[in-house]
């Protein structure tokens, strides 16, 4: 049997994560919780990091119930010393770090002329500075290992502006280009850096907006799939990017958006 056929027979093993150690920032709720559970479901041990320890601990407990090792860590990703301590804690407890998901993020929308500077700085600090600090410190562990996966959570908004959004959209555009720069530098050393760019997904944070019928109907019109995303829509992509199946993918920003970025959002032209 030729080598290619032998590899094809074992294709499912490419997607498994047994023996891997993952760290998910902002993993205590929303999309972070979903991706943490997905990684655990694929066989990884998962460290849940977040600003609210109780939320992180709740998800860590759920992962333990799945039969995987887990740990909750309190961290403010804006603070370099806290990020360094978080990475050190992971390595001390698990002896390695294979997967980092930079999910911690914040958003706000209001008229640009009324947008407070301190709020703009906060959003940029969490979304951009936090992603940089966590990636930098994780890479210091992954580079000696000769292997690692860094998955940055971007947004569809990183590719398009919108009224009232001088900070979040800009921050996610920065995450996209930072993803590419990190990939350029680390790909030859075994680290894959990619980003996931979701559209609106149902979470506790977005439910008050998606629950408004006029807004949701407009969203449905703009998304070819006809709905907002669900948290489990990120299961497959995060496991894929964390696994050996994506070892030759670097610097990609992958939309999970029901086709929204492929469509201009205008209604069908009447016949």
Three-point CA angle 137, 182, 71, nearest 5°: 35
Which candidate, 35, 130, 136, 137, places its Cα nearest to that of 90? 137
- What pLDDT score was predicted for residue 1? 53
Architecture of domain 10-255: 3-Layer(aba) Sandwich (3.40)
Average pLDDT along the chain: 96
**Distance between CA atoms of 270 and 248, rounded to whole angstroms?**
44
CA dihedral 91, 17, 41, 193 (to 10 degrees): 70
* Residues 243-271 pLDDT 10s: 999 999 999 999 999 999 998 777 677 76
E strand map for the chain:
21-25, 45-50, 70-74, 99-102, 148-153, 191-198, 253-256
> What is the band of 236 on the pLDDT scale with cuts at 50, 70, 90?
very high
* Residues 155-183 pLDDT 10s: 999 999 999 999 999 999 999 999 999 99
The DSSP 8-state label assigned to residue 229 in this structure reads: B
What is the domain partition of the chain in residue ranges? 10-255
Which candidate, 187, 65, 166, 80, places its Cα nearest to that of 123? 166
122 included as an active-site residue: no
SS (H, E, C) 13-73: HHHCCCCCEEEEECCCCHHHHHHHHHHHHCCCEEEEEECCHHHHHHHHHHHHHCCCCEEEE
The two structure tokens encoding residue 109: 């929308």
- Count Cβ atoms within 10 A of the Cβ of residue 9 and give its class: 0-12 exposed, 13-18 middle, 19 or more buried: exposed
> What is the band of 2 on the pLDDT scale with cuts at 50, 70, 90?
confident
* Residues 35-91 pLDDT 10s: 999 999 999 999 999 999 999 999 999 999 999 999 999 999 999 999 999 999 999
* SS3 state of residue 92: helix
pTM, rounded to two decimals: 0.96
């Amino acid at each position: 049997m030729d080598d290619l056929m032998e590899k094809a027979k074992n294709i499912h093993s490419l997607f498994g994560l047994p023996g891997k150690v993952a760290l998910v920032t902002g993993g205590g709720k929303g999309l972070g919780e979903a991706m943490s559970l997905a990684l655990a479901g694929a066989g990884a041990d998962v460290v849940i990091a977040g600003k609210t320890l109780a939320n992180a601990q709740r998800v860590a407990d759920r992962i333990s119930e799945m039969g995987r090792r887990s740990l909750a860590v309190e961290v403010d990703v804006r603070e370099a010393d806290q990020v360094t301590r978080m990475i050190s804690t992971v390595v001390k407890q698990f002896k390695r770090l294979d997967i980092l998901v930079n999910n911690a993020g914040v958003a706000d929308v209001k008229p640009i002329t009324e947008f407070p500077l301190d709020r703009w700085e906060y959003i940029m600090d969490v979304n951009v500075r936090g992603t940089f600090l966590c990636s930098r410190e994780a890479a210091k562990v992954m580079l000696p290992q000769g292997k690692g996966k860094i998955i940055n959570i971007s947004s569809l908004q990183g590719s398009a502006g919108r009224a009232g959004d001088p900070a979040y959209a800009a921050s996610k555009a920065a995450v996209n280009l930072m993803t590419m720069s990190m990939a350029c530098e680390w790909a030859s050393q075994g680290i894959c850096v990619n980003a996931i760019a979701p559209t609106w997904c149902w979470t506790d944070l977005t439910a008050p907006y998606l629950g408004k019928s006029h807004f949701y109907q407009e969203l449905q019109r703009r998304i070819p799939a006809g709905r907002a995303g669900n948290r489990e829509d990120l299961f497959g992509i995060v496991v894929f990017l964390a696994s050996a199946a994506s070892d030759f993918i670097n610097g990609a920003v992958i939309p999970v958006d029901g086709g929204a970025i492929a469509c201009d959002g205008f209604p069908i032209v009447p016949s």
